[in-house]
């Protein structure tokens, strides 16, 4: 462990109950901002995320080490009365509980909102699920991939004449986690003002649906059903990716009228500005095939590095399509501290993404990587849950990690 900087949530304790991505990512964000996060894991195997990913280490997957950084690991079987009692004894010391079980599961275990409030009246419960705590589909199973499908994102992703496609990461889980972390902070603010707790209900499907920009009002107003458009930006042109002379891809966004004028000047094509097909954004969108073909031919005569420099100088937003090796070497990401090297016991140096949120009073920090299964069980039960040594002897078999 490293001391790091305290962060704005220093002094807040979060109890993470759940597994895999959305709830875990939410608590990672809270932990990054200084909160103490106690992650509850089942005995024997722990969170399945320990085994997810292409690269495995003695301490689990690299994804696990990133997603569970700044957390403490407590082993407790929530399906048993003993595990449920551990949670009840912890709640008085906890500010926020985050869970991502199917709706009704906490209530089944005697750990629903009313049960938790009996342990601490102003506790905040953040609930993340596929379809939310209400509605006719509330009890259906749902992962991020299901939310991306039902919420409309996959229908919009892919080439115009191709099948619906997945974004390259678990975006549905990630956006739900962001909403959940925001909701947790908002509930903390309410508690500060009114001295009351709250229940924050986040549905993965709602979170994905909220990303659809103007898709809903366009349908409501004109009956327009937006479809896939590949790398083009719907409703604004030109904005696309183009192949350079040296066979590299570059994204160019010249969809503002003034930016388009600068691009036309750089291309030495004043005729684009006098052509009524490209006179404003609506006209450019109507003739985007022709416009993209013209820009694509011009880009195809340029090498990437020189072209990118010229576009930047001209004030035209553009960037090459980076893979991870290029991101690691990128001076902008390096200057922002977005590529962090963390020393992990038994593993060595592990690269992790840095902090997105920056605070003038001091940045949040990565204090340690994801813990060993049950690493903090004993200390948490003795210090936070109020168990005695004799108590621990009775429940040792239920809480200790595998040898």
Catalytic residues: 173
What's the distance, CA 20 to chain centroid? 12
Q: How far apart are CA 314 and CA 262, in angstroms?
A: 6
Q: How far apart are CA 118 and CA 158, in angstroms?
A: 49
Using DSSP bridges, classify how beta strands 60-61 and 71-75 pair: parallel, antiparallel or unpaired. Answer: unpaired
Q: What is the dihedral sign for C-alpha 381, 107, 201, 164? A: positive
- The three-class DSSP label of residue 7 is coil
Residue 46 burial class via C-beta count within 10 angstroms: exposed 0-12, middle 13-18, buried 19 and up: buried
Cα angle 71-342-367, degrees, rounded to a multiple of 5: 35
Q: How far apart are CA 97 and CA 17, in angstroms?
A: 7
- The three-class DSSP label of residue 159 is coil
Dig out the tokens for 268 from the structure. 């030495």
The CA-atom distances, in angstroms, between 247 and each of 267, 299, 300 are 19, 10, 8
Using DSSP bridges, classify how beta strands 124-129 and 96-99 pair: parallel, antiparallel or unpaired. Answer: parallel
Paired with 251 in beta bridges are 241, 319
């Amino acid at each position: 462990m490293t001391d790091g900087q305290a962060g704005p949530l220093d002094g807040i304790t979060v109890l993470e109950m759940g597994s895999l991505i959305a709830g875990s990512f939410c608590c990672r964000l809270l932990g990054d901002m200084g909160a103490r996060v106690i992650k509850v894991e089942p005995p024997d195997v722990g969170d399945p995320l320990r085994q997810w990913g292409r690269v495995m280490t003695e301490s689990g997957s690299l994804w696990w080490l990133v997603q569970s950084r700044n957390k403490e690991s407590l082993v407790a079987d929530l399906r048993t009365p003993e595990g449920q009692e551990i949670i009840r004894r912890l709640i008085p010391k906890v500010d926020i509980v985050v869970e991502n079980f199917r709706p009704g599961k906490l209530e089944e275990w005697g750990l629903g909102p009313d049960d938790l409030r009996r342990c601490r009246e102003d506790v905040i419960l953040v609930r993340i699920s596929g379809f939310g705590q209400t509605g006719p589909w509330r009890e259906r199973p749902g992962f991020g991939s299901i939310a991306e499908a039902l919420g409309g994102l996959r229908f919009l992703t892919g080439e115009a004449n191709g099948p619906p496609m997945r974004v390259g990461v678990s975006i549905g889980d990630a956006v739900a986690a962001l909403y959940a972390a925001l909701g947790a902070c908002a509930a903390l603010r309410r508690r500060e003002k009114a001295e009351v707790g709250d229940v924050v209900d986040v549905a993965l499907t709602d979170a994905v649906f909220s990303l659809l920009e103007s898709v809903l009002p366009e349908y409501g107003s004109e009956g327009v059903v937006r479809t896939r458009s590949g790398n083009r930006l719907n409703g604004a042109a030109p904005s696309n990716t183009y192949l350079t002379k040296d066979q590299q891809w570059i994204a160019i966004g010249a969809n503002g009228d003034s930016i388009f004028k600068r691009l036309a000047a750089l291309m030495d094509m004043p005729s684009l500005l006098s052509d009524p097909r490209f006179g404003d954004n609506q006209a450019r969108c109507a003739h985007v095939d022709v416009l993209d073909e013209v820009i694509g031919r011009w880009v195809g005569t340029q090498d990437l590095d020189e072209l990118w420099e010229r576009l930047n100088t001209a004030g035209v937003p553009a960037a090459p399509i980076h893979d991870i090796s290029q991101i690691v070497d990128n001076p902008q990401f390096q200057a922002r501290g977005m590529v962090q090297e963390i020393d992990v016991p038994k593993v060595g140096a592990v690269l992790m993404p840095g902090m997105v949120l920056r605070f003038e009073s001091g940045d949040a920090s990565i204090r340690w990587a994801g813990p060993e299964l049950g690493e903090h069980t004993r200390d948490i039960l003795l210090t936070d849950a109020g168990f005695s040594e004799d108590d621990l002897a009775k429940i040792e078999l239920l809480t200790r990690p595998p040898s």
